[in-house]
Structure 1
Amino acid sequence: IKLHSINTLDMLLIAVSIITSSYYIYLFFMNQGNTWKYKLTLCVFIITIISLIIRLIYVNKSINNSHNTETVVDLRDLYEGKIKKTDRLVILEDQAVNYDL
């Protein structure tokens, strides 16, 4: 859940929202608008949409925060100790350079 990218929870929420909306439309066209199934489907759909919106806000907020810090570093900077201490994942850049460690 703490990952910034799409994960299984996001896919599950989208699947539940599609299924509940389809079933809600089916119940509407079958004239079952006053049944408990109709009301339960509407409640589940609303809860799912609210959860998706909260998740979208969380992902956008964390993506905006991660753009401020640079996590891609060169191996020479790591070797020389120029990297600040961070709790984030550090990715080493792989490119051809003219120096040799």
Structure 2
Amino acid sequence: MNADADIQVWLETIARTQPRVIVPYVQSAQNGSLRYKMRATRQGPGGRSVISQGGTIEITAGTPAALGRLAISRSPDDDCQIELTIQNGSGTGPGASRDYQFSCPD
């Protein structure tokens, strides 16, 4: 989990799924609207693939909110990264946007 100011972001993996299903979550200490962009990149001997999605989500203080689901197939030789950009509802000022990077869960 990465914590930055009043926002926490983490990944959960749904057990026993193939391809692997990953669910990114966000939680804030305050109610409000957040915009997000999510990008998963897998690269290996078989090539490269990129999955992207984004949107806006209403956050209730202290309650985790899922940002969607990603289904990722990968082999042991693949490199896989997930990048999340979270922007507060107003989208202006210092700290309005935060970037998070994760290695895909095994």
Give the TM-score normalised by structure 2. Answer: 0.16
Greater relative CO, 1 or 2 (CA 8 Å, sep 6+): 2
Greater gyration radius:
1
